[in-house]
Amino acid sequence: MNKERLRRTVMYAAGNNPGLIQNAAIYGADSVIFDVEDSVSVAEKDSARQLVYHALKSLKFPCEIGVRINHISTPWGYKDLEYLLPAKPDYIRLPKGESGDEIRDIDKIITKAEEECGFEPGSIKIMVSIESPKGLRNAYEIASASPRMIAIAIGGEDFAASLKTEKTRGNTITGGRELYVARSMIVFAAREAGIQAIDSVFSDMRDEETLINEVALVKELGFDGKSCVNPRQIDIIHQVFTPSDKEIDYAHRVLNVFKEALANNSGVIALDGKMIDMPMVIRAERVLAIASAAGVYQKEESI
Amino acid sequence: MINAAGREIPTSIQGYKNIIPYAGPFATQPSADARKAGPKLKAIYPGTNKLLQSIEEAIEASGLRDGMTISFHHAFRNGDYVMNAVIKAIAQKGIKGLTLAPSSFLDTNDELIPYFQQGVLVGAQTSGLRNKLGQFLTTNKIGTPTILRTHGGRVRAIESGELKIDVAFIAAPACDTYGNINGVDGPAACGSMGYAMVDARMADTVVAITDNLVDHPICPVSIPQHQVDFIVKVDCIGDPKGISTGALRLTSNPRDLQIAKLAAKVIERGGYFKEGFGMQLGAGAASVAAGKYLRDVMIRDKVAASFAIGGIVGPFCDLLDEGLIRTLFDVQSFDARTIQSIRDNPRHQEYDCTFYANPWNKGPMVNKLDYVVLGATEVDVNFNVNVMTDSNGIMMGALGGHPDASAGAKCTIIVAPLLRGRLPMVTDAVQTISTPGETVDVIVTDRGVAVNPKRADLIENLKGAGLPLMTIEQLRDMAYELGGKPAPLKISDEIVAVVEYRDGTVLDVIKRPLL
């Protein structure tokens, strides 16, 4: 696992539901999170913890699996870590992140667990969701608090609530304005720290059109992927985040003319009458990297 | 002896005809001098009144006696009132020893159990058995073993004379005063009369039972007057809520949708997805949903099907209206949308069960199928399918047209979850073979797709399609790893049912489980 791993979709499955856990990873999500936090009632916290532990220990999953723990300020957070780390999830997802100290605290606990269990040091990663103005103000500090950090995410509903407003439907013209600044700041912090940015869930399963608009919006803002709670959304999100044949073809041609220009030592590069400069080359490289990770493009040669 | 499906078949079974073991899907043919069976010659001259006052009167008029065979159709599904009512009336008349040979049984027929216990009924020949009646006939010995036939196999048995129907009682949604029947009008409209059309043509005596008696002549006519002896008007023949499911809602179960998506991909890439292809999709959630995904691909690639067959569901009627299917052949209409379509759209054709699936005629529609997508209770590493018995060995399903369509289609796709609850659905050997593996080409589960190794062409076509292809053994291993290997059932030696292949050979037997 690495920081640049494809995470177009990060799907939650309630940690107290055996049927969901058993099948969560078969729908093609890039990453799956077993949740023992908000989707599990107080009375079931311990049983969910045990179920997730045994699922991690005894089942094989075809994708990356994280565990969303309760925040360490709650009565369950540290116990979640203590119980679940020996089952070696790929990452811990911390909700409601507000400071770098929390991350450093969790990092220490993970380091200790890795030592005790004989896991490769640094192999268990951390993803944090930011759900409050304080967390947002500290977003870069959080994102860079540990080398284990792979992504920060925005918890849209909670964030909107903490602003004393509500999450509106993101569409490309008017929607999602209440999260506009927060989303962008998440992307800034993630990019500065060199990790990924993940958008929050879109909860109306039946409204595919608005979902597509919202995914297009956050992709435009720079996000790497989006959380979801229903497998039906996976294909739609992937479709937006996966480069189209046309984009792949264009990226390919950009890199080819760039390579030619390098070989010929020519200063100005043009393609289809448009000037190609360095940012476009970097973008083309990124398009092909994502396409390759998504399995829709095979690298012919290194460029 | 061991038949061609690898099952041990006894040389004789008490109460069952001479055994011919299954020898392969097309190995057993009618003998060269065989002739079609037919009903008694009868003449009804002008002035005769076919109308009778009650079911009791019709039973008397039909000449029903001890030991005869009677039939019903199952197009009313769980809304049917007729079969139970007629058998109750027969029992009250003291007639005994009857063989009951409906096109299928459904949940509502649990009420018949006492009549089997009392000896009014001593044998059952059917496509399916469900609920408590299925349990009863698996765990009790009645006069003769139950004979399970495919939809096509039942017509073959009737037309070859193996199954002789003395009296057919036909629930008729609309019937005129001289016996013309259709299924599209009236409070109990069920759409196609495809199963009843066979019984009307082949039974010695035909009694129409209707709650919608109309003036002569009716239009359209599905079952013509010249096949009908008597007509009885009753208050109510069925519950519309049980007859059709209303508007069929597409499943939102993500696992079914996952399976459907993979099945649609198999169709798209299997090699037969071309303008004018023919298809059948079963009525299960995943099969129906496969149609939704297929529709997107048909529109994208501008490919239309020339025909679709089977039990028809609403989404198929939408495809017909959109021009993505050129004509439908409908033996059974599953929902209100389909009933409306078969009534109003001339390209939605009613056809009978011999036209659909009978292996011993001059060409049923299943022979022209490119693809069929069907469900399964379980499958095994030899691609055999069980749709008949549950994990306790109890009869709870129906052969239906499953073996018929599988034999006919160029590519048979079986859809099933890899596990139900914690039970593996891909196993070493299915409990009961209902469709032999040599007629099955692709198994699609939520966790992987396996192609019959005999179909190297399909394997080649499906490579690079993004499908999770694996061997059937890998699928089984995955299922066993997740759910554990099920312990074999404890089974007695007592044969309670015979599973006939569509050609009348013995494919498998069902023995009473020791519960």
C-alpha torsion sign, points B124, B127, B130, B134: positive
Average pLDDT rounded to a whole number, residues B144-157 = 98
Question: How far is C-alpha B330 from the geometric centre of its chain's CA atoms?
Answer: 13
A 10 A CB-CB count for B484 gives 11
pLDDT at A303: 43
- Bridge partners (DSSP) listed for residue A152: A128, A197
Which band of pLDDT confidence, cut at 50, 70 and 90, is reported for residue A1?
very low
- Domain residue ranges in chain B: 51-103+151-243, 254-484
Residue A88 has pLDDT above 60, yes or no: yes
A 10 A CB-CB count for B453 gives 11
- Bridge partners (DSSP) listed for residue B450: B443, B470
pLDDT digits (tens, 9 = 90+) for A14-38: 999 998 999 999 999 999 999 999 9
Cβ pair B91, B120 in contact under 8 A = yes
Between CA B355 and CA B307 the distance in angstroms is: 14
DSSP state of B395: B
- The class level of CATH for A9-241 reads alpha beta
Cβ pair A227, A153 in contact under 8 A = yes
For residue A23, give the chain B residue with the closest CA: B255
B342 φ, ψ (degrees, to nearest 5): -70, -25
Q: Do A232 and B255 touch (CB under 8 A)?
A: no
pLDDT digits (tens, 9 = 90+) for A124-139: 999 999 999 999 999 9
Q: Do B419 and A22 touch (CB under 8 A)?
A: yes
Average pLDDT rounded to a whole number, residues B322-348 = 96
Cβ pair A33, A94 in contact under 8 A = no
- Which residues in chain B have their CB less than 8 angstroms from residue A24's CB? none
Place of tokens 């179909």: B455
Q: Strands (DSSP E) along chain A, which ranges?
A: 9-14, 31-35, 64-68, 91-94, 125-130, 149-154, 196-199, 225-228, 270-271, 274-275
Q: Do B258 and A26 touch (CB under 8 A)?
A: yes
C-alpha torsion sign, points A15, A20, A21, A25: negative
For residue A205, give the chain B residue with the closest CA: B252
Q: List, as ranges, residues 37-76 from A with C-beta within 8 Å of B.
A: 59-60
Residue B65 has pLDDT above 70, yes or no: yes
- Which residues in chain A have their CB less than 8 angstroms from residue B296's CB? none
What the block records as the tokens of B281 is: 């999709």
pLDDT at A302: 45
Residue type, B174: A
A168 contacts chain B (CB < 8 A): no
Between CA B196 and CA B158 the distance in angstroms is: 13
The CATH code of the domain at B254-484 is 3.40.1080.10
For residue A295, give the chain B residue with the closest CA: B466
Residue A172 has pLDDT above 80, yes or no: no
Picking from B252, B255, B466, the nearest residue to A23 by CB comes out as B255
Q: Classify B131 as helix, strand or coil.
A: helix
Maximum Cα interatomic distance, chain B, rounded to a whole number of Å: 73
Place of tokens 């006519």: B221
Cβ pair A116, A81 in contact under 8 A = no
pLDDT digits (tens, 9 = 90+) for B167-204: 999 999 999 999 999 999 999 999 999 999 999 999 99
CA atoms within 13 A on the CB side of B410: 15
Question: How far is C-alpha B286 from the geometric centre of its chain's CA atoms?
Answer: 18
End-to-end CA distance of chain A: 24
Q: Do A230 and B254 touch (CB under 8 A)?
A: yes
Residue B290 has pLDDT above 80, yes or no: yes
Domains B51-103+151-243 and B254-484 equal at CATH topology level: yes
DSSP H/E element including A107: helix A100-117
For residue A60, give the chain B residue with the closest CA: B482
The CATH code of the domain at B51-103+151-243 is 3.40.1080.10
Question: How far is C-alpha B117 from the geometric centre of its chain's CA atoms?
Answer: 26
Best A20, A23, A59, A238 member to test B by mutation, with max B CBs in 10 Å, is A23
Best A17, A26, A208 member to test B by mutation, with max B CBs in 10 Å, is A26
Q: Do A27 and B258 touch (CB under 8 A)?
A: yes
Indicate the burial class of B432 (C-beta count within 10 angstroms; 0-12, 13-18, 19 or more).
buried
Between CA B276 and CA B305 the distance in angstroms is: 5
Best B251, B253, B256, B258 member to test A by mutation, with max A CBs in 10 Å, is B258
- Size of the A and B interface in Cβ pairs below 8 Å: 22
Indicate the burial class of B343 (C-beta count within 10 angstroms; 0-12, 13-18, 19 or more).
middle
Q: Do A231 and B257 touch (CB under 8 A)?
A: yes
Which band of pLDDT confidence, cut at 50, 70 and 90, is reported for residue B310?
confident
How much helix, strand and coil, in percent to the nearest 5, is found in chain A?
A: 50, 15, 35
Q: A287-296, B34-43, B447-456, B503-512 — which is least confidently predicted?
A: A287-296
For residue B418, give the chain A residue with the closest CA: A23
What the block records as the tokens of B260 is: 């459907």
Give the minimum alpha-carbon distance from B258 to chain A in angstroms, rounded to a whole number. 7
A 10 A CB-CB count for B54 gives 12
For residue A25, give the chain B residue with the closest CA: B447
Which band of pLDDT confidence, cut at 50, 70 and 90, is reported for residue A263?
confident
The CA-based dihedral angle spanning residues A215, A218, A224, A229, taken in that order and rounded to the nearest 10 degrees: -50
A 10 A CB-CB count for B81 gives 20
Q: What is the ipTM of this complex?
A: 0.82
Q: Do A26 and B446 touch (CB under 8 A)?
A: yes
The CA-based dihedral angle spanning residues B86, B87, B92, B94, taken in that order and rounded to the nearest 10 degrees: 120
Maximum Cα interatomic distance, chain A, rounded to a whole number of Å: 69
What's the whole-model pTM score?
Answer: 0.91
Distances (CA, A) of B414 to A26, B267, B446: 19, 12, 12
Instruction: State the angle between helix axes of B336-344 and B314-321 in degrees (0 to 180), rounded to the nearest 10.
Output: 40
Q: Classify A223 as helix, strand or coil.
A: coil
A295 contacts chain B (CB < 8 A): yes
- Which residues in chain B have their CB less than 8 angstroms from residue A205's CB? 252
Cβ pair B234, B209 in contact under 8 A = yes
Residue A3 has pLDDT above 60, yes or no: no
pLDDT digits (tens, 9 = 90+) for B87-126: 999 999 999 999 999 999 999 999 999 999 999 999 999 9
- Which residues in chain B have their CB less than 8 angstroms from residue A59's CB? 482
For residue A294, give the chain B residue with the closest CA: B466
Percent of chain B with pLDDT over 70: 99
Q: Are strands B213-214 and B174-176 parallel, antiparallel or unpaired?
A: parallel
A22 contacts chain B (CB < 8 A): yes
DSSP state of A266: -
What the block records as the tokens of B264 is: 């649609």
pLDDT at A265: 81
Distances (CA, A) of B206 to B22, B93, B171, B187: 33, 19, 11, 22
List all residues 6 or more positions away from B458 whose beta carbon is below 8 Å from its beta carbon.
Answer: B270, B271, B411, B441, B442, B451, B452
pLDDT at A2: 45
A 10 A CB-CB count for B274 gives 10
Give the minimum alpha-carbon distance from A208 to chain B in angstroms, rounded to a whole number. 14
pLDDT digits (tens, 9 = 90+) for B389-441: 999 999 999 999 999 999 999 999 999 999 998 899 999 999 999 999 999 99
- Bridge partners (DSSP) listed for residue B506: B21, B500
- Domain residue ranges in chain A: 9-241, 245-301
Picking from B252, B447, B481, the nearest residue to A26 by CB comes out as B447
Residue B369 has pLDDT above 50, yes or no: yes
DSSP state of B21: B
Q: Do B482 and A22 touch (CB under 8 A)?
A: yes
- Which residues in chain A have their CB less than 8 angstroms from residue B252's CB? 205, 232
Between CA A24 and CA B11 the distance in angstroms is: 49
Picking from A27, A59, A60, the nearest residue to B254 by CB comes out as A27
Q: Classify B92 as helix, strand or coil.
A: helix
pLDDT at A174: 59
For residue B252, give the chain A residue with the closest CA: A232
Cβ pair B451, B457 in contact under 8 A = no
CA-atom Rg of chain B in angstroms: 22
Cβ pair B380, B428 in contact under 8 A = yes
Note the residue count of chain A. Answer: 303
Region at B85 (left for phi over 0; alpha for psi -120 to 50; beta for the rest): alpha
Which band of pLDDT confidence, cut at 50, 70 and 90, is reported for residue A300?
low
A232 contacts chain B (CB < 8 A): yes
- Which residues in chain B have their CB less than 8 angstroms from residue A232's CB? 252, 254, 257
- Bridge partners (DSSP) listed for residue A100: none
A262 contacts chain B (CB < 8 A): no
How much helix, strand and coil, in percent to the nearest 5, is found in chain B?
A: 30, 25, 45
- Bridge partners (DSSP) listed for residue B206: B168
Give the minimum alpha-carbon distance from A120 to chain B in angstroms, rounded to a whole number. 27
- Which residues in chain A have their CB less than 8 angstroms from residue B481's CB? 60
For residue A230, give the chain B residue with the closest CA: B254
pLDDT digits (tens, 9 = 90+) for A221-246: 999 999 999 999 999 999 999 999 99
Cβ pair B237, B211 in contact under 8 A = yes
For residue A27, give the chain B residue with the closest CA: B258
Between CA A205 and CA B342 the distance in angstroms is: 33
Between CA B71 and CA B82 the distance in angstroms is: 11
Give the minimum alpha-carbon distance from A59 to chain B in angstroms, rounded to a whole number. 7
Q: A2-6, A56-60, B28-32 — which is least confidently predicted?
A: A2-6
Place of tokens 């539901």: A17
pLDDT digits (tens, 9 = 90+) for B84-98: 999 999 999 999 999
Residue A171 has pLDDT above 60, yes or no: no
Between CA A152 and CA A199 the distance in angstroms is: 9
DSSP H/E element including B1: none
pLDDT at B214: 98
DSSP letters of B219-246? Answer: SS-SB-GGG--EEEE-S-SB-HHHH--S
pLDDT at B496: 97
A 10 A CB-CB count for A138 gives 21
Give the minimum alpha-carbon distance from B288 to chain A in angstroms, rounded to a whole number. 17
Cβ pair B83, B101 in contact under 8 A = no
Q: Residues in chain B whose beta carbon is closer than 8 A to a beta carbon of chain A?
A: 252, 254-255, 257-258, 419, 446-447, 466, 481-482
- Which residues in chain A have their CB less than 8 angstroms from residue B257's CB? 231-232
In 3D space, the residue among B484, B480, B459, B486 whose CA is nearest the CA of residue B471 turns out to be B459
Cβ pair B257, B251 in contact under 8 A = yes
pLDDT at A296: 85
- Which residues in chain A have their CB less than 8 angstroms from residue B446's CB? 23, 26
Average pLDDT rounded to a whole number, residues A172-188 = 84
For residue A19, give the chain B residue with the closest CA: B421
